[in-house]
Structure 1
Amino acid sequence: MINLQNAAIFMNGGQAFKSIDIKVAAGECSVIFGGRGAERSALLECFYNPDLVTDGTYSNCARRVGIVSLREQERLILREETRDDSDLTDQIFPGTPVFDLLEETSLDKDLLAHLIDSLDLNSLLGKGFRKLSSGESKKIILARALSIKPDLLLLEDPLEGLDSLGRTQALGLIGDLSKSVTKIYSLSRVTDIPENTNKIFFLDSNSVVREFVCQSGVQARYMVSSITKIESREVVLPPPAEKRSLPTNPDGSLVNIRNATVKYTENTVFENLDLRINPGSHWQIKGPNGSGKTTLLNLINGDHPQSYVNNICVFGFRKGEGETIWEIKRNLGFVSNALHWDHRISVSVINVIVSGFFDTIGLYSNTSDLHYKLAYKWLELLGLENERDQRFTELSFGQQRLILICRAMVKHPPLLLLDEPCRGLDDADRQLVIALINRLCADGDSTIVYVTHDLEDEISFISNSLELV
Structure 2
Amino acid sequence: MKRSQLPLIELRQATFRLGEQLVFKQVDWFLQKGQHWIVTGPTGAGKTVFCRALLGELLLVGGEYRLRLATRAGRAPEESIEYLTATQWAYDRVEGAPSRWFSLDCEQSPLVADLLSWRAIENINPFEVVARSPEQIARWNRRADRVVQQLDIPFLLERPWLALSDGERRKVALAQVLMRAPRLLILDDPFAGLDAAYRRHVRDLLDDLIRRRTVPLILVSSHSDDWPRGMTHLVHIERLRIAGQGPLNQMKRDPAVARFLHGRQQHVAPPRVGRATPKMNRPGPELVAFQDVRIQWNDTVLLDAVNWTVHAGESWAILGPNGSGKSTLLSYILGDNPRAYASHVRVFGRRRGSGESVWDIKRHMGWISPEFHQAFDASLTGLETVLTGLTDSFALSSVPTARQREQARRELRKMGLLHLAERPFGQLSTGQQRLLLLARALIKAPRLLILDEPCQGLDPASRRAFCAEVDRRIRQGATVLYVTHRPSEIPSSIEHSLQLRAGQAKIVHRKKSS
TM-score by length of 1: 0.49
Higher relative contact order (CA 8 A, sep 6+): 2
Query: Which of the pair has more CA radius of gyration?
Result: 1
